[in-house]
Amino acid sequence: MHALLNVAVMAARRAGAALIRKMSSLQKLKVEQKGHNDFVSDADHAAEKAVINCILKHYPDHAILAEESGAQGESDHLWIIDPLDGTTNYLHGFPVFSVSIGLQINGRMEHAVIYDPMRQELFTASRGEGAQLDGRRIRVSGQKQLERALIGTGFPYRQIDQEIQPYLDMLGKVIRNTAGVRRPGSAALDLAYVAAGRLDAFWETGLKSWDLAAGSLILREAGAMISGLDGSENFLETGHVLCGTPKIYKDFAKLCAKDIKILLA
């Protein structure tokens, strides 16, 4: 394992341990609301601190972009961190959440970790070396028929008034033309599940770079396609994402082309 990836794994595990410890006293956590359906708690801060401390201990000159504390430092090595993806799930004791850590070097994703503390599943990737789950190589599913595909999604929550109706139109079409739709509530884990073949595709709008950074590399190393909903490469900036196996990705984009155009208008 590359030394940089090894540090990312160590940091993710430490954050996961902090999250598990605090689950025994969820009712005592201090919780603040950042926006509609957007919360931050003591657990988020503790996990983020664990990640940043671990990284800077080994690489003090590297830069950080973290969900809660923002940007710090200047370097061609940028760590993009979501210490708790699925905060609302976590605060309700719903056991679907993750730690996401990606490393960009000169603007390109090079190493990635997504860690599920509840299942102790570790998804990793380094550019050009494939994607792994607990050290075993993973690939996207071989599904080629949209009507047999299982699709993941996330509901709009940042611009609900503008997005909800076109999203629901799209959701209805997907439900009618696939084997089913799932919305677990942790986008980073959804991306990892596409990479591991547990989902055949995933789409969501309004995400942030820390939700997508690590997962984008794991997906590509597992053979998936990922882009903005409009097919662009700037999904880390827009937060609108579509990913999946090559065949399902293309069929999904074709099925929902009109709805996507309305959604993004």
Domain closes at, from 103, 138, 173: 138
Domain closes at, from 112, 138, 164: 138
The CATH number covering residue 51 comes to: 3.30.540.10
52 and 127 in a common domain: yes
Packed helices 42-58 and 3-22: angle between N→C axes, nearest 10 degrees: 160
65 and 153 in a common domain: no
- Below-70 pLDDT ranges, the chain: 35-37, 158
188 and 130 in a common domain: no
102 and 75 in a common domain: yes
Digit-coded pLDDT (tens) for 45-77: 999 999 999 999 999 999 999 999 999 999 999
User: CA–CA distance from 34 to each of 25, 38, 74, 95, 155 (Å)?
Assistant: 22, 5, 26, 22, 18
Q: What is the pLDDT at residue 36?
A: 65
152 and 133 in a common domain: no
226 and 131 in a common domain: no
130 and 66 in a common domain: yes
| Domain of 167, in residue numbers | 146-264
219 and 132 in a common domain: no
110 and 33 in a common domain: yes
219 and 97 in a common domain: no
The CATH number covering residue 205 comes to: 3.40.190.80
Packed helices 257-264 and 160-177: angle between N→C axes, nearest 10 degrees: 170
Q: What is the pLDDT at residue 186?
A: 98
245 and 129 in a common domain: no
Number of domains making up the chain: 2
61 and 152 in a common domain: no
Q: Which of 123, 3, 15 is closest to 59 using CA atoms? A: 3
Domain closes at, from 91, 119, 138: 138
